[in-house]
Amino acid sequence: MMSAFWALVNNLLNTLLFTLGGLEFGGIISNTGAREGYWQAKEWGYLFLLWVLLHVIRFVLVYSFYPLTKRIGLSTNWKEAFFLSYGGLRGAVGISLGLATDNWVWSATEDETYRKFTTQLFGMVGGTAFLTLVINGSTAGPLLQKLGLAKSSETRQKVLQMFVTNYKENSIDDVLTLLGDRRFAGVKVKHILQHLKMTEDDILQRYNKSIDAQSIKEDNIDSLLLSLRSTEVDMALEVDVEEVGEETAQIDEKVGEETMY
């Protein structure tokens, strides 16, 4: 519950932060109100220059440590390092600091020099985040395709397979535990078993491997296996019904043709 709560708070605060930052940045570049004249055409030029320099700095930093990052952890390659450098930063910390600084200066002094400086500073911070989202964000997908990083690697496939295995095993544990509760006595788990796509041997192996037989009644595993067998029977019946339906349709078609003649 605490984890879910703080995740929700994080999303709400991020939304609020970028909303306030967007309103502030829009007010700066529109040159309205008390900030009129603070953002001119030359500031746009400085902004694009800053955006380019930040990319250069990131490329230098990432490739400076490339010999080290290639030899530690899961390793990396030049394609991943390139995309890591190009990906940029979202800018949440920079926007929050820029907002706080600009607000503090405007409330502490009426000196136009300081106010103009902090306003332009936040304009650069907000503009960098804006260009990163618009340019880097919209071109990230095609760049991943071009670099060949969109395809799943062998390591990723192994990780996904391990996740699926653990998911199925934990699901069986939960089902067996719930079947031990009187409130769920006699509950059929047909749909769960269909979703898990597990055989009777898989369930028995999991039951004997990691579940305490003393804490879970044997009736639970019997109920689960019974539901599994009924699922297999139902699936076979569904196939038979489909085949019978097709044969019936063929017979009706032949009868209809003979009737016409």
What are the tens digits of pLDDT across the range 82-100? 998 998 777 888 899 999 9
- What ranges do the domains of the chain cover? 2-150, 156-260
Cα–Cα distance measured from residue 151 to residue 156, given in angstroms and rounded to the nearest whole number: 10
Dump the DSSP string for 51-109.
Answer: HHHHHHHHHHHHHHSHHHHTTSTT---HHHHHHHHHH----HHHHHHHHHHHHHHHHH-
Structure tokens at 168: 């199925």
Q: What is the pLDDT of residue 64?
A: 94
Over residues 25-31, mean pLDDT = 88
Q: What is the pLDDT of residue 8?
A: 93
Residue 101 pLDDT class (50, 70, 90 cuts): very high
Residue 155 makes CB contacts below 8 A (sequence gap 6+) with 74
Residue 59 pLDDT class (50, 70, 90 cuts): very high
In 3D, which of 231, 234, 218, 232 has the Cα closest to residue 189? 231
Question: Between residues 193 and 21, which one has the greater pLDDT?
Answer: 21
Residue 53 pLDDT class (50, 70, 90 cuts): very high
Question: Between residues 78 and 237, which one has the greater pLDDT?
Answer: 78
Checking if the pLDDT of 210 tops 70, the result is no
Q: Are 51 and 131 in contact (CB under 8 A)?
A: yes
Q: Of the segments 9-13, 247-251, 254-258, which one has the largest average pLDDT value?
A: 9-13
Q: Are 206 and 177 in contact (CB under 8 A)?
A: no
Q: What is the pLDDT of residue 52?
A: 93
Over residues 27-36, mean pLDDT = 84
Q: Are 149 and 78 in contact (CB under 8 A)?
A: no
The mean predicted confidence, pLDDT, of the chain is 78
Q: What is the pLDDT of residue 234?
A: 46
**144-175 tens-digit pLDDT:** 888 888 776 777 788 888 888 888 777 777 77
